[in-house]
Structure formats: structure tokens, C-alpha cells
Amino acid sequence: MIRRIRGVLASVDPESVEIEVGGLGYEVVVSPPTAEHLAERPEGAEIELHLYHFLAIDANRASPILMGFETPAQRDFFEKLLDVPRFGPRGAIRSMSVPVATYAKAIEIGDTKMLRSLPGVGPQKAKDIVATLQGKVGRYIDVNEVEAAHAPVGLPESDAEDQALLVLEQLGMSRPDALHAVLRLREAQPDLKTANEIVKAVFKR
């Protein structure tokens, strides 16, 4: 089972991305917000996604499909959605157009009106989601998940960025906030070369 991929961003479409790893291009289906975040990254940027791997059966052919998520929590929540009757992987990931925390809260409080606003979720599907998952997704209602969902997707590209992330976390910043700040500075001030310069620039913004 393939659970994670790290490689170079080759292209981004509204529902999928292509990631190049060792000369091979992997198509990965993603949620709408993830596609938007990745579209902000330049082609050639190194990224990492957490994967769900399944076989799509069409007539007599089975095609392997990779679905990518920014965090393990997003992937875990997606797998919960698959417990809902007649909610396949493609429909489930397409419905994830809001942060997981928002989605989970709507389920826990039985807000079918909010659920009906999600792509591909009609009145009956909203009821099925609540009936299947209410009381089971409370742990996903976490402010850190909301923060992570709004952070640009990417990885540190130098030892200086790695060290700056460690310092920022030691100073009390959450990992998503620290990564968000470092990646934004990489684009805004590419001349920053040391961890000390990066940390100082973060607190000047």
C-alpha cells in the first residue's frame, strides 16, 4: 500500500496534480483546496502528500488511483467518509472543499444544510453522512487542522529553512504557522540565506 509521496511538482489541474519522482510522473487526485494551494507553488517545487491508494474497477479493467492529502488527519477523515453508504473515493474527496474541522463540526452537530452545500452532497447524502459518522469525528474539530488547511503546501528546501523551522517552533509557533511563514518568505525574500535571517524576517512581517 502506497501511503506517502515526495517529489517535484510538475503540473496542477483543478482535481489532480502530477508529481515527478525519479523520472516517473504520478497523477494524484486531490481535493479542491489542495489543488488551489498547490497552484500557488511554482512548478519544480518539492512537495509531499499523504496518500490513499485504491483500485478503480471499470468493466474488466482495474486502474490504480492515488489520492493525496496535505496532512495525515485529512487522509484519516477521508477514510471515515468512505464508511458512508454509496460514497465512493472520488465523491468523498470532491466533497472536501472546506477544512476538515469545519466538515467534522457540521457532522457532529447534524448541520445537514451545511453538508448539502458541499460538492456532490445532496439531501439524502447529507443525512447518510450524519447517520453514519455523527459521534465519530469529534477529534477532527481542531484549530490546528484549520491552520494547516490554509498553509501553502511545500517542504523546506535548505538546511537554513529546516533550522529556522525548529527555532520558530521553539519560540512557540505551531508547525503549520512556522511552515507558512518560511515558505512565504522564500517567495517574498529569496535573498535570505541563513536561519537567523529567516527568523528575524518572520518577526518583522
The domain ranges of the chain are 4-69, 72-148, 156-204
* pLDDT tens-digit map of 75-102: 999 999 999 999 999 999 999 999 998 9
User: Is residue 160 pLDDT above 80, yes or no?
Assistant: yes
AA letter at 176: P
Fold of 72-148: DNA polymerase; domain 1 (1.10.150)
Distance CA 119, CA 92 (A): 9
Instruction: Evaluate if pTM is beyond 0.85.
Output: no
Residue 205 is predicted with a pLDDT of 61
Mean pLDDT of the chain: 87
Considering the domain delimited by 156-204, tell me its CATH architecture.
Orthogonal Bundle (1.10)
Q: Please give the average per-residue pLDDT across 117-125, as a whole number.
A: 95
In our burial notation (b when 16+ CB lie closer than 10 A, e otherwise), range 21-53 reads eeeeebebbbbbbbbebbeebeeebebebbbbe
**Which triple of cell numbers denotes residue 201?**
524576517
Band (pLDDT 50/70/90 cuts) for residue 7 is: very high
Distance CA 137, CA 126 (A): 15
Q: Please give the average per-residue pLDDT across 100-113, as a whole number.
A: 91
Evaluate the CA torsion angle 21, 149, 35, 86 in order and state its sign: positive
- Closest of 192, 201, 189 to residue 178, by C-alpha: 201
Q: Please give the average per-residue pLDDT across 7-28, as a whole number.
A: 95
11: β partners: 18
* pLDDT tens-digit map of 42-57: 889 999 999 999 988 8
Which residues 6+ apart lie within 8 Å of 172 measured at CB? Answer: none
Distance CA 32, CA 42 (A): 18
Fold of 4-69: OB fold (Dihydrolipoamide Acetyltransferase, E2P) (2.40.50)
